[in-house]
Structure 1
Amino acid sequence: MTELVLPSHCDGRGFCLGGTVLSWIDIAAGIAAKKHGVFPAVTRSVDAVHFLGPITTKNIVILQASVNRAWKTSMEVGVRVMTEDLLSADRYYCCHAYLTFVALPQAPLTILKSGQPQTPSQRHHRQQQQQQEEQQQQQEEAEAARAALISSPAARRYSFSLPSSKSESKSGGQSQQQRSIQLPAIEPVSPVEMERYKMAQSRREARLKQASEENEEEEQRLLSDVRDQMRRWNVSHAQNPKFKKDGGDGGDTDRVEIQATFAESAQLVLPQHANSLSITFGGQVMKWMESIAAVSASRFARVPIVTASIDSLQFHRKTMIGDCLTMRSVVTRVFKSSMEVYVFVDSENLITGKQTFTNEAFFSMVALQPAPSLQPIRSQLPLLVPGSDMERALSEAGEKRRLRRLSQRRELAEREMQGMTSAPKGASHDPHDHDTLEHGRVALDVTDP
C-alpha cells in the first residue's frame, strides 16, 4: 500500500502525524487479514510501535503487510513502513508494527417475506420453504468461498482447513454466528517466512505471559484508579499550568502539576470510521488517541513535539457507529527531552447511555527545538509534580516502562541492521539510527536519562 503524504496529514512543521501513520498501518494490516481469513476481522491488539524516523510532505509512505501466523480465530499481521523521498528516490526504514486480528462471522442476510400466510398449512409450507432457501443459500456461499480460496494464488503456499459440505449441511439450520470459525493455517516456505512464523508464536506467548504476571495486575489496578480520578477532572484544570517554586532541588525551574496536563476530547463514530460490520477501525481510535496525547504533551512543554512511540495496547471492547468516544490524556513522566503520556478511551452508547472502558496506551513524545532545527530540545523541560500518592506511583513506574521501550527499540534497530526484515535496496543502515537519526531526520531521545 502506498500513501502520498499531504499537508493535511502533517503538523505545522510538516511532520506527518503519528496517528495518521498508525491508521494507515491498521488499514494495510486489515486488508491482509481479510484476504487471508475471508471472514471479516477486527483489530484486537497492537504491539509497541517505534518510529525511527520522521515522515514529511517530501515523502511517500510504502506499507507492506503480511500474515505471519494464524491460529483458530486470530492471526498476527506484520506491517513494515518505509519512506521514499520524492526527489532523490532514497528509501528509509521508518517503523514496524505487529497487529493481532480476530475473525468475526458475517451477519446473516435478511430474507424478506413476500406475504403473511393465513392458514396453518400455508404457514407450515412457508416455514419449510424458508428453511430450504436458507440451507441452499448457506451452501452456495460456502462453496463460493471455498472456490475463491482454492483458485487464489495464495492457495499454493497456504494450507486451508475448511469444513466439508456434509458438515455444513448438518448445521444448515444454525445461524452463521453459531458456526465455528477456522482460519486458514500458514505454511511458511522461505527462511524469512519461517522466521516470521516462529517470532509470531514467541510474541503471542510473551503477550499471554505478561497478562498473567502479578506485577501486571498491580499496574492494571493502579491504572484503573487513575482512570477513575481522571474521569472526575475537566479541562479547566489545565489553565495556566506553569508555576515557579523557590528553594528545593528544582530552584526556579518551572513546575507543572500532573493534573494541569489533563486533556479531553470527544468523537462521534461515523460510517467512514467503521468497517462493514459497523465496528470502529482500530487505527482510527489510535489516531484520535495520538491527537489528544499531543495536546497534553504540548500543554506541558509549550514547544513543538513529535511522537516517538506508542506502547502495546489492547482493544477490550468494540465500539460501533453512533457511539461517542471520549479520550482523556495526561503526562505521567518527563525525561531529558521526552515525555510519557497516558491515554485511555471510554465509549458511550448514546441510545442506552451505557459507558464502557475501551482501551489505553502510553505514548512517548519528544520535544523539539524551534524551526528549522530537527533536533530535540536542549533546555530543561519543566518538572512534573505529582498531586497525590497515586499520581506519584504512576510516575515512578514510568522508568520501568521506559527501559522496556529502549530494549524494544534497540532490538528493532539491530534486526533492521542485520537484514532480518529484508530492507529494500537503498534503505538507511546507519548504526546510530536508533539513537540520533541523521540526514535531515529527527533525533528521538531514546538514550538520555
Structure 2
Amino acid sequence: MDDIHFEHTISVGQVVNIRAKVNRAFNTSMEVGVQVSCEDLFTDRHWRVCHAYATFVTQRTNTGEKVTLKPVLPQTQREQVEYSVAAERRRVRMVHDDIIRDLLSHGSVQQVETAVDNAVAAEKTKVESVELVLPPHANHQVNTFGGQIMAWMVNVATIAASRLCQAHPTLRTIDMFTFRGPSQVGDRLLLRAIVNNAFKNSIEVGVRAEAYQEEGPNRHINSAFMIFEVLDDHRKPCTLPRIRPEPLEGERRFQEAVARKKIRLDRKYIISRTQGEVPLSVPWDPRNQVYLSYNNVSALKMLAARNNWRLSSEKDKVRLYTLELKSMLSFKVESEVDVPAHRAFCLLAEMSNRPNWDPHYRKCELIHRVDDDDFLYRVVTPSVRHGAVGSQTSAGQGEGILQDFILLASKRRPCSSGDPYVIALRSVSLPTHPPTEGYNRGEVLCAGFTILETKNNMSLISYYNQASPEVLPYISTDIAGLSSSFYHNFCSCSQYLTQNRLQLTAEEQTGQYQSTNMDTPTCDSLSVGLSGTQL
C-alpha cells in the first residue's frame, strides 16, 4: 500500500463513498487506485478524504505455477494517464527501502538528543494488544482482510500517540508499507506500538503486527508508520512534547523516523507542485532524486495522454499540435520515421550527437550521471530576446546573448508491449551551477520525446513542450502557420535518424554496438526555433 494522506476527517452520520479501479496489470501484480470521499446529507457538502494506491500480487496455483494477469486496456483519458504513470509509481515502491538506508548511511539525519528538558520516555508510550481473527474478519480465502489489520494497527497507534500528547490525536498519514505475509481465521494477532519520534507538530508511531497459533513461532506479517497531529479549537496543529528514545533500538527508530519525514517532505514538495508555482526548477539533491525522476517522467506521460490536442499546422506528414490549459500552452510535434523504435530511442538519447541535426543547439555539458536512467546536463542555446524565433536572422542577432539550462534527463524503456520509449526533461537547480554572467538562465517545466513502435518496423516520434507565458509570442508564428521552422527541424532530426539507422545496424553486426547500455540520454527540445526558452 502506498502512502495514505488523510486530507479531512469523517464524522458520525456522514456518508462515505469509496471507488476502486485497477489502473494497470503487470505480469503477476496489479495496481488498484482507491478514492475515498465524504458527503454530509444535511448540508449537501462533498469533500475528498484520501486517495491511495494498493498493489495486489497473484498467488501460485495448487501445482506451483505462476498466474499471469491479462492486460488492462485504458479507455478514457484519465484511465490512460493512470495506466501510464503506474509504471513510475512501481519504480518508486521498489526503491523505497533503499532510499531510507541511503539517508541513514550518509549521516544526514537528526542526531538523538538525550538531554532535552521535559522529554517523555518512549517506553511510556508502549502499547500491546492481542486480537483473535474470526470469520467476519476474513475474506473468501480465509485470509484476514488487510483493512481489518490496518484498523487494529491504527487503534494501538492512536493509544500510543495519546500517551505522549495526553490528548486526542488525529491520524494524518500512513507511510508506504507492505503486507509481508497473510494471517488466517484462528490466528492471534499480536500488535505492538511505540512512538518513534515527536516533531514540533506531528508524531510518528511505529506499529508491528505478528500472527501466531497456539503452537509455533510468531510470524511478522506487517509493520507500519503512522503520523498523528493534535488540533486545537481552531483546527491548527498544537506544539507537541519531545520524546526520549530507548537506547540502541529506540535510537535507530528515532533516526529512521527523521529519514521518513525527509522523504515525505520531498514527495510533497516535488510531486505535488502545480504548474503555476514559481520557480519551475526544484533543488537537486541525491536524496530526492527518485521523486524528481518520478515527477519528470510522469509529467511527460500525463501531458502525452491528454486527448484534446488541436492540430495547428501540418506539412508533409509532420504535424504541430497545441494544447491550452489556463495560462499554459503546450505543443507537440509528431511524425513517423522509418527507423525502429529502439534505434530512435538510442540515437535521441545520445546527447553528443545533438548538434548533428539541431542547428540551434550550441553546447551540452554532462554534469553528473545519476544512474543508468537519469542524468544532469547544462545546456546552452541562443536566447530569444533578440529577433523573432524561427526567422533566418534570429541566430545572428542573438550571437553573444546565450541562454543556459540545468536539466534532469530521465529515460525509460517500455514496461510492456504497447508502451512508448520516454525521454523526459525538466529544470532543476544546482548549488554548484548557479546562474552566471553572460547567460540568461532558462527553465523547462516539462518537455521530451515519446517513441512508439508502429507497423513495418517504423516508429512514431512525438516531441512535447510546455511553454511558459513569456515565450508564447515567439512560437505564435509556427502555430499560426506563418512559419514552418518546426518542419525543417523535425526533417533534420528524421534525416539524422535514418542515416544512422544503417550505420547502427552494421555496428551491431560487428558486435561494436550495444543498444541496451547507452549511458547518455537526450536533452530536451526539438528546437529552440519552436520555443526560445525551451529545449
Under a length normalisation based on structure 2, what TM-score does the superposition of the two structures give? Answer: 0.47
* Deviation of the 1:332 alpha carbon: 0.9
Q: Provide the rounded CA distance (Å) in 1 between the counterparts of 2:99 and 2:199.
A: 27
Q: Deviations over 1:125-154 (max 9, x none)?
A: xxxxxxxxxxxxxxxxxxxxxxxxxxxxxx
Corresponding residue SS for 1:299? helix
Q: Which residue of 2 aligns with 1:290?
A: 154
Q: Provide the rounded CA distance (Å) in 1 between the counterparts of 2:57 and 2:249.
A: 35
* Deviation of the 1:389 alpha carbon: 3.4
- The structure 1 residue matched to 2:75, chosen from 174, 189, 192, is 189
* 1:89 is the counterpart of 2:62: no
Q: Provide the rounded CA distance (Å) in 1 between the counterparts of 2:266 and 2:103.
A: 22
Q: CA RMSD in A?
A: 2.9
Q: Which residue of 2 aligns with 1:273?
A: 137
Corresponding residue SS for 2:171? strand
Under a length normalisation based on structure 1, what TM-score does the superposition of the two structures give? Answer: 0.56
Provide the aligned length of Structure 1 versus Structure 2: 271
Confirm or deny: 8 A CA contact 1:50 1:409 kept in the other structure: no
Identify the structure with the greater helix proportion: 1
Q: Provide the rounded CA distance (Å) in 1 between the counterparts of 2:275 and 2:184.
A: 38
Output the amino acid matched with 1:271: P
Bigger RCO (CA 8 Å, 6+ sep): 1
Instruction: Report 1:118-137 matches (<5 A).
Output: none
Q: Which residue of 1 aligns with 2:229?
A: 366
Q: Provide the rounded CA distance (Å) in 2 between the counterparts of 1:344 and 1:216.
A: 23
Q: Which residue of 2 aligns with 1:59?
A: 14
Corresponding residue SS for 1:308? strand
Q: 1:367 to 1:62 in 2, by over 3 A?
A: same
* Deviation of the 1:199 alpha carbon: 1.5
Confirm or deny: 8 A CA contact 2:104 2:259 kept in the other structure: no
Which stretch of the first structure deviates more once superposed, 270-279 or 87-96? 87-96
Q: Provide the rounded CA distance (Å) in 2 between the counterparts of 1:75 and 1:341.
A: 29
* Deviation of the 1:248 alpha carbon: 6.2
Confirm or deny: 8 A CA contact 1:292 1:327 kept in the other structure: yes
- The structure 2 residue matched to 1:408, chosen from 263, 267, 284, is 267
- The structure 2 residue matched to 1:316, chosen from 180, 185, 189, is 180
Q: Deviations over 1:137-196 (max 9, x none)?
A: xxxxxxxxxxxxxxxxxxxxxxxxxxxxxxxxxxxxxxx544542222111222211110
- The structure 2 residue matched to 1:393, chosen from 252, 256, 260, is 252
Identify the structure with the greater strand proportion: 2
Q: Provide the rounded CA distance (Å) in 2 between the counterparts of 1:218 and 1:403.
A: 11
Confirm or deny: 8 A CA contact 2:171 2:228 kept in the other structure: yes
Q: 1:249 to 1:385 in 2, by over 3 A?
A: closer
Output the amino acid matched with 2:192: R
Output the amino acid matched with 1:192: R
- The structure 2 residue matched to 1:347, chosen from 211, 232, 240, is 211
* Deviation of the 1:258 alpha carbon: 1.0
Q: Provide the rounded CA distance (Å) in 2 between the counterparts of 1:294 and 1:265.
A: 12
Larger Rg: 2
Q: 1:213 to 1:298 in 2, by over 3 A?
A: closer
Q: Provide the rounded CA distance (Å) in 2 between the counterparts of 1:216 and 1:184.
A: 36
Q: Provide the rounded CA distance (Å) in 1 between the counterparts of 2:89 and 2:183.
A: 26
Name stretches of at least 5 consecutive residues in structure 2 with no aligned partner: 106-113, 278-301, 303-535
Q: Provide the rounded CA distance (Å) in 1 between the counterparts of 2:160 and 2:275.
A: 32
- The structure 1 residue matched to 2:88, chosen from 202, 206, 227, is 202
Q: 1:385 to 1:248 in 2, by over 3 A?
A: closer
* Deviation of the 1:409 alpha carbon: 4.1
Q: Which residue of 2 aligns with 1:434?
A: none
